[in-house]
Structure 1
Amino acid sequence: MEFIKMHGTGNDFIFLLDLDDKYIGQESNLAKKLCHRRFGIGADGIVLVRKSAVADVKMVIVNSDGSGANMCGNAIRCFGKYVFENNIIDKEIITVETGDGVKELELKIDSEGKVETVKVYMGEISFDGSLIPLKNKEKLIDEDIVVNGKNYRASSILVGVPHTVIFVDDENYDVTEGKYIEKYELFEKGTNVNFVKVIDNENILVRTWERGAGATYSCGTGCSASVVICNKLNLTKDKVNVRVPGGQLRIELEGTSIYMIGDAEFICSGKAY
């Protein structure tokens, strides 16, 4: 099969064109095989490009462990660049069907006809414990939880997928602690975990442990969730620069809506056997 590998601030994905649905039913096994960093191509997940009956095009995301993901901010920026520069969609404003509904992308095109940045409507936010979902809890905002005998001050939110935000003082915090928090009994379907250091009211640092992928260089929904929580706790304004190990994103809040702005890059293309 032919593939293209891309990354959004270091969060990398293998793209497969699947307009004729030939990979339906194989997604999980393909992801586990292709994403292995020793015996495969290596990536945080695969993205399949499919036809949509409700939008311009459909995006299907599968994590490296074979589990599905409704939405991924870095993947959808790469997706926008992919479909535009590969002449699948010839528009600067694109609608994309995802597991979290239809998302709108606004592409900024440079003088050479290449996608410079992508602005993504990330959707509505929810603190509802039944949607995250939390076990027997209406919400989790700035509360203590104890995992593996260690205390964490945590807040949880749904931004297409569940995210938990924990504030830290050290930007080199051991993000692998997220693997225990991810599977903590309070989170009925697991959670992504974001360790956040606030620099000032317009700048934060975020390191993310992703459910199904582990520690990643960037997580778009995680950055979005982190800014929402920071803003709710009056730690930042509603327009924030977010630095991650793989680069920087811009998150803007408008009421209950979230917008993410960032770039996306091609890495390579080839054939997988």
Structure 2
Amino acid sequence: MKNAFFKGHGLGNDYIALNPKDLDFKLTPKTIRAICDRHWGVGSDGILALTASRKADFGLRIYNPDGSEAEKSGNGLRIFGCYLFATKITKRRSFSVETKGGLVHIDLEVDRRGQVVGATVDMGRATFQPRALPCTIRAPELILQPIKAVGQSLRFTGVSVGNPHCVVFKDKGGKWTREDLLRMGPELENHSIFPKRTNVQLAVPTGPKSLYILIWERGAGETQASGSSSCAAASAGVRLGLIKSPVTVKAPGGTLLITVDAQYNLTMKGPVAEVYQGQLHPAFLTPAK
């Protein structure tokens, strides 16, 4: 079907998946913004574009709703796996995917009706080195580094899980509010020490193996959940000795289980759901081209 697309969500973090070969237009920043617009388009937190790969079973390019490109997305990868299976691009329940943030492996959970309801994703290894994000701070690792935002002096832990993250913890028993996220998120995302911008997590330990996070995504803003953000917050919490693995990470959209091993290799497990499949109308596409 020409201009076909698939929409799914992982804990409220929604993506459109498609094959650019099915489109009669090019995916440009302009068309991406038009499709992702929640009032004038389909509406989503980004686009997952199927590509060829020489290193994996499938290739994936991930676009933010502002038209920029992301290296990796945990929720996006679960949705992408669901898309491949639901649209019969593959009948396999286990396969590899190449992203700009590295190779990952996906294992799908399929129910009795043959529908994908969850996925476990090998998300690669977390690193705290400045050059991996990148970050201009000169230090062996970005552990509790000072940063100023909205007139406050904070300390952040910088993590790359294939894409960049700035994790700011409150002490156990403390609380971050949505107002904190809306004030601090944009400034931290665009802080001068992050040349390629960054994702932001405001995190609070809630138990020996659990966290609560609020999420501000680079190029998307506030999101209800994020797999890579959950991985970053979990690995930062383990590195700081605040929690132990496996870590239950709760966000406004729901909960993911993150396993962090001794070398900071990460595995993410969580639900995924198909929303619908459709076709972009020519009348919509004409002004967007």
Same fold? TM cut 0.5:
yes
Which residue in 1 is equivalent to 2:255?
Answer: 248
Aligned counterpart in structure 2 of residue 170 of structure 1, from 160, 170, 175: 175
Which residue in 1 is equivalent to 2:53?
Answer: 52
Which residue in 1 is equivalent to 2:147?
Answer: 145
Deviations 1:132-190 (A, max 9, x none): 11114233211321123211121101111100101132243421121001111111111
Q: Secondary structure at the match of 1:130?
A: helix
Give the number of the structure whose residues are more often helix, by fraction: 2
Using the TM superposition, name which of 65-74 and 35-44 deviates more: 35-44
> Is the contact made by 2:186 and 2:221 (CA closer than 8 Å) also made in structure 1?
yes
The letter of the residue matching 1:197 is V
Q: Does 1:29 align with 2:30?
A: yes
Could you tell me how far apart the structure 2 residues matched to 1:83 and 1:248 are?
Answer: 24
Aligned counterpart in structure 1 of residue 216 of structure 2, from 190, 209, 218: 209
**Cα displacement (A) at 1:19:** 4.6
Question: Using a 3 Å threshold, how does the CA distance of structure 1 residues 166 and 181 change in structure 2: closer, same or farther?
Answer: same
The letter of the residue matching 2:275 is I
Could you tell me how far apart the structure 2 residues matched to 1:171 and 1:268 are?
Answer: 34
> Is the contact made by 2:117 and 2:273 (CA closer than 8 Å) also made in structure 1?
no
Q: Structure 2: 5+ residue runs without aligned partners?
A: 282-289
Q: Secondary structure at the match of 1:198?
A: strand
Could you tell me how far apart the structure 2 residues matched to 1:59 and 1:90 are?
Answer: 18
Which residue in 2 is equivalent to 1:261?
Answer: 269
Which residue in 1 is equivalent to 2:76?
Answer: 75
> Is the contact made by 2:20 and 2:50 (CA closer than 8 Å) also made in structure 1?
yes
**Cα displacement (A) at 1:62:** 0.4
The residue correspondences of 1:1-273 to structure 2 (distance < 5 A) are 1-19=3-21, 26-138=27-139, 139-168=141-170, 169-174=174-179, 175-176=181-182, 177-255=184-262, 256-273=264-281
Question: Using a 3 Å threshold, how does the CA distance of structure 1 residues 118 and 4 change in structure 2: closer, same or farther?
Answer: same
> Is the contact made by 1:19 and 1:51 (CA closer than 8 Å) also made in structure 2?
no
Deviations 1:175-212 (A, max 9, x none): 11210011111111111100111111111111110010
How high is the sequence identity, in percent, across the aligned residues?
Answer: 32
Runs (4 or more) in structure 1 with deviation over 6 Å come to none
> Is the contact made by 2:20 and 2:27 (CA closer than 8 Å) also made in structure 1?
no
> Is the contact made by 2:4 and 2:23 (CA closer than 8 Å) also made in structure 1?
no
Question: Using a 3 Å threshold, how does the CA distance of structure 1 residues 145 and 171 change in structure 2: closer, same or farther?
Answer: closer
How many residue pairs were aligned? 272
Could you tell me how far apart the structure 2 residues matched to 1:10 and 1:146 are?
Answer: 30
Using the TM superposition, name which of 14-23 and 169-178 deviates more: 14-23
Q: Secondary structure at the match of 2:132?
A: coil
**Cα displacement (A) at 1:18:** 2.8
Could you tell me how far apart the structure 2 residues matched to 1:116 and 1:190 are?
Answer: 33
Structure 2 length normalisation: TM-score? 0.89
**Aligned-pair RMSD on alpha carbons?**
1.6
Q: Structure 1: 5+ residue runs without aligned partners?
A: none
